[in-house]
Structure 1
Amino acid sequence: MNPGRTLATTGRVLTQIRHDHRTVALLLLVPTLLIGLVAWIFSDTPVFASIGPAMIALFPFIVMFLVTSIATLRERRTGTLERLLAMPLGRGDFLLGYTIAFGLLAVAQASIAVAFAVWVCGLEIDGSIGLLLLVAVMDAVLGTTLGLLASAFARTEFQVVQFMPVLVFPQILLGGIFLPRDQLPEVLQTIGDWLPLSHAIDALNAVASGSDDTAAIWIDIGIIAAYAVGAVVLGSLTLRRRTP
């Protein structure tokens, strides 16, 4: 991979997104609005206090997965990727450039979502807000990289949506949002413990509760980062050069 080509790809993607106001609104505002809706639904109850950190993990993860996978697939469907890869640009440069571009957007997205959840919706955070933001950003980047991985296999936008039951829904069901993982059947608990979104939810819950076990939080962050890197590497190995 070449840093110059990677950064050039990052700049091109950011320029395209800047002119797509609907995508910008979807990325930056929709997770925040959904968090606000959940807080409104459970107003005057203790429910939002318990599930709020998980919502910070869930909604940005889903939105980044959808937007990134469809945007990357569009590059292939329009023939842009084929023309780019005919030049010295490598598949790794392409995917890493996309990861950096959407990762920067993830920082803005997570910052807005965390600020809204804490200072508007009243989510109580006993730990470090900075650490909470870091986990939220890593979670959004994870959604980005899994979206890139899905786009490497999909041929149409419909197929991208079909990847959600494979890559996204099991993580939601087994991540501990609906039922603590230690109360799941043993097999499902084991599967859930290996899913990256579970570690994001665990880390956000730990920070929100003011856990003193910061080592466990950093381990969760490291696992999320490892999954994100693995998704980029696997995506670069499987990305087709030719437009299907």
Structure 2
Amino acid sequence: MNARITLATAARILRQLRHDRRTVALLAVVPSALLVLLYFMYDDPGGTFDRIALVMLGIFPFTIMFLVTSIAMLRERTNGTLERLLTTPLGKLDLLFGYGLAFGLAATVQAGVAAAAAYWLLGLDTLGSTALVVLIAVVDAVLGVALGLFCSAFARTEFQAVQFLPVVVIPQLLLCGLFVPRGQMAGWLQAVADAMPLSYAVEALTQVGAHPDATTMMWRDLTVVAGAAVVALVLAAATLRRRTP
């Protein structure tokens, strides 16, 4: 990897993102709009809403970034941009970590807007700090970027890229502990849940909601999520193809 090339790649992706108004709206507005929908679904602000909205602040960026990046990388391959880029000194890791950095910055804005809407508009209340919630949401979004880049290598069309959403994202959503605590699952199901990185992101957010200060478990969970993102980016580099047949 070359730091200068990686930063230049991130800058290029951010410029492209800035000109795509629909994607910008998806990243910035949709999570907050969905939180508003959750607020009106529950008539007990301060109870169920606080628990679910806190977790969704991590799940929404993960899901949206997975979808956006898997399609974006597929377009780079299908229109020949990736093949031209890889004839330059740009390496695969430069490209993929550039994607991670660019969308990580976008995720920071997304998480900040969503957290502002949740805390100041909808009255979300947590014992832990808002900054920790935003940090976990950003790391979770980078994980979504990494998994999206990895899965895009196995898709030939945008429709196929979208099909990875129910394969990769929804099982993690069902088993992350949002609906049923992992400790109450059947043994084999709990083992599967423990192997999924989103479970640790949800656990980290739960720790922030229940404790005024950062806990050892929260930092451990955040490290697991960050490590999973790095591993996914490396795997994406190993499976990246110059073009789609």
| TM-score, with structure 1 as normaliser | 0.96
Q: How does 1:46-125 map to 2 (within 5 A)?
A: 46-125=47-126
Q: Which amino acid aligns with 1:191?
A: V
Secondary structure (helix, strand or coil) at the match of 1:55 reads helix
Secondary structure (helix, strand or coil) at the match of 1:153 reads coil
Q: Which amino acid aligns with 2:177?
A: G
Cα distance in 2 between the residues matched to 1:36 and 1:138: 23
Cα distance in 1 between the residues matched to 2:229 and 2:34: 24
Unaligned runs of 5+ in 1: none
Please name the residue that 2:19 is paired with: 19
**C-alpha contact 2:128 2:209 (8 A) present in aligned 1:** yes
Q: How does 1:192-207 map to 2 (within 5 A)?
A: 192-207=193-208
Cα distance in 1 between the residues matched to 2:182 and 2:244: 42
Structure 1 residue 44: deviation in Å? 3.0
The answer on 1:6 being equivalent to 2:6 is: yes
Q: How does 1:85-234 map to 2 (within 5 A)?
A: 85-210=86-211, 214-234=215-235
1:103-141 deviations in Å (ceiling 9; x for gaps): 100110111111111111111111122212111111111
Residues 217-226 or 173-182, more deviating? 173-182
**C-alpha contact 1:82 1:243 (8 A) present in aligned 2:** no
Q: CA RMSD in A?
A: 1.3
Cα distance in 1 between the residues matched to 2:212 and 2:123: 19
**C-alpha contact 1:95 1:236 (8 A) present in aligned 2:** yes
Moved over 4 A (4+): none
The answer on 1:39 being equivalent to 2:39 is: yes
Percent identical across equivalent pairs?
Answer: 55
Structure 1 residue 242: deviation in Å? 3.0
Cα distance in 2 between the residues matched to 1:102 and 1:183: 35
**C-alpha contact 1:81 1:243 (8 A) present in aligned 2:** no
Structure 1 residue 211: deviation in Å? 5.9
Structure 1 residue 28: deviation in Å? 1.1
Q: Which amino acid aligns with 2:178?
A: I
1:46-80 deviations in Å (ceiling 9; x for gaps): 32122121111111111111011111111111110
Structure 1 residue 31: deviation in Å? 1.1
Secondary structure (helix, strand or coil) at the match of 2:138 reads helix
Secondary structure (helix, strand or coil) at the match of 1:137 reads helix
Unaligned runs of 5+ in 2: none
| TM-score, with structure 2 as normaliser | 0.96
Q: Which amino acid aligns with 1:41?
A: M
Alignment coverage as a number of residue pairs: 244
**C-alpha contact 1:182 1:189 (8 A) present in aligned 2:** yes
> Quick one: structure 1 residues 4 and 24, their matched pair in 2 at CA, closer, same or farther if it must change by over 3 Å?
same
Secondary structure (helix, strand or coil) at the match of 2:124 reads coil
